[in-house]
């Protein structure tokens, strides 16, 4: 295993443009089988700590770490002494003395993850916080590259809540020249102002485009991808008891393909057929949602490898 200082991934903003592209390309190599059998984590111990439920992300990082040669230690939300009064800071200090990598889903403030990352012994990977799902963003970009052979110039229509998956998509896709991301979100459930500002800054720098509207009128035609996520984000609840009425017009059904007949469908899963998407779309021929789910493991392997000083070792600044 490389002896370089640990790298961390808390936000996609932490990555240089070169690192972002290299991670996406490496994920696509793993996806295609071109990466071969590599074990850059031989001798490493990876901690997998999830306070919230997870199927894809937890399995992806666990399976990915094992495939790369690491041993894993898993923790659930009730396993640690933080439940008996130990501080989060002390817990992080202990982790860093025993683990080489920590993959953590807190679904809370990313400041906790940044505190754990304030050392160079143990890599910290954000497996989803309240504001951003960076490893999902890398998965989505990897899926686009694997399917289309490129990310530059792709046009994506995102429909639904401006949640942490949408945030990661916005922060990642806008760093690829010529891309267009149009978000249609219910009023009051759009991207956070800070995320939208950062994504717009990316678009100005990289020659991409991002726009957000709160209706489903005059949808863009000839998009390459239609993307949605579940309406009730994992680990959250909506304070408005009538939120479903606001979301109902934003269901993805077959009618959305009238202007974009060649578009593929993406969903970060889990899906609720009949809510955010119809069964005909999710299970249809143009859906690549389950390829996308598999690519979460391939993308996780790229992140784990990079965090420990493997492929994608680029230091250029943005």
Query: Which residue bears the tokens 């060649």?
Result: 262
Lowest mean pLDDT among 138-147, 228-237, 250-259: 228-237
Query: Which residue bears the tokens 């720098």?
Result: 205
Question: 19-54 pLDDT, tens per residue?
Answer: 999 999 999 999 999 988 899 999 999 999 999 899
Q: Please compute the mean of the pLDDT values over residues 269-288 and round it to a whole number.
A: 97
Give me the pLDDT at residue 239, please: 85
Question: 189-211 pLDDT, tens per residue?
Answer: 999 999 999 999 999 999 999 99
pLDDT above 90 (res 4)? no
Give me the pLDDT at residue 19, please: 98
pLDDT above 80 (res 2)? no
State the Cα–Cα distance between residues 159 and 166, nearest whole angstrom: 9
State the Cα–Cα distance between residues 137 and 135, nearest whole angstrom: 5
| CA dihedral over 135, 139, 144, 145, signed as positive or negative | positive
Give me the pLDDT at residue 311, please: 62
The gap from C-alpha 52 to its chain's centroid, in whole angstroms, comes to: 16
Lowest mean pLDDT among 29-38, 221-230, 248-257, 267-276: 29-38
User: Nearest Cα to 7, choosing from 316, 305, 318, 209?
Assistant: 305
Which fold, 12-132+297-307? Rossmann fold (3.40.50)
Give yes or no for a contact between 173 and 138, defined as CB atoms under 8 angstroms apart. Answer: no
Tally of CB atoms within 10 A around 179? 26
Q: Where are the domains of the chain?
A: 12-132+297-307, 134-293
pLDDT above 90 (res 313)? no
pLDDT above 70 (res 302)? yes
pLDDT above 60 (res 231)? yes
Q: Do domains 12-132+297-307 and 134-293 have the same CATH topology?
A: yes
pLDDT above 70 (res 140)? yes
CATH for 134-293 (3.40.50.10470, 3.40.50.300, 3.40.50.1370, 3.90.226.10): 3.40.50.1370
């Amino acid at each position: 295993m490389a002896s370089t200082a640990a790298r961390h991934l808390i936000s996609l903003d932490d990555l240089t443009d070169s690192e972002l592209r290299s991670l996406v390309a490496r994920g696509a190599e793993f996806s295609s089988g071109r990466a071969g059998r590599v074990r850059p984590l031989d001798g490493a111990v990876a901690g997998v700590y999830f306070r919230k439920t997870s199927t894809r992300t937890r399995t992806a990082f666990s399976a990915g770490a094992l495939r790369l040669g690491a041993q894993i230690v898993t923790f659930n939300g009730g396993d640690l002494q933080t439940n008996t009064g130990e501080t989060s800071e002390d817990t992080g200090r202990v982790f860093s003395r025993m683990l080489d990598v920590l993959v953590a889903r807190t679904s809370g403030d990313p400041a906790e993850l940044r505190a754990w990352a304030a050392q160079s012994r143990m890599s910290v990977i954000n497996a989803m916080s309240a504001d951003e799902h960076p490893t999902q963003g890398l998965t989505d970009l990897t899926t686009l590259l694997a399917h289309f052979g490129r990310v530059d110039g792709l046009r994506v229509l995102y429909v639904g809540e401006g949640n942490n998956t949408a945030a990661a998509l916005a922060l990642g896709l806008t760093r690829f020249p010529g891309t267009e991301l149009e978000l249609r979100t219910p009023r009051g459930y759009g991207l956070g102002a800070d995320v939208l500002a950062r994504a717009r800054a990316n678009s100005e720098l990289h020659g991409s485009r991002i726009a957000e509207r709160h209706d489903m009128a005059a949808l863009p035609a000839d998009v390459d991808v239609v993307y949605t996520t579940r309406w009730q984000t994992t680990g959250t609840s909506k304070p408005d008891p009538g939120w479903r009425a606001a979301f109902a017009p934003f269901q993805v059904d077959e009618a959305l393909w009238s202007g974009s007949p060649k578009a593929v469908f993406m969903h970060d899963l889990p899906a609720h057929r009949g809510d955010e998407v119809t069964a005909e779309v999710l299970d249809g021929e143009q859906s690549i949602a389950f390829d996308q789910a598999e690519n979460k493991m391939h993308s996780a392997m790229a992140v784990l490898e990079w965090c420990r000083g493997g492929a994608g070792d680029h230091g250029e600044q943005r």
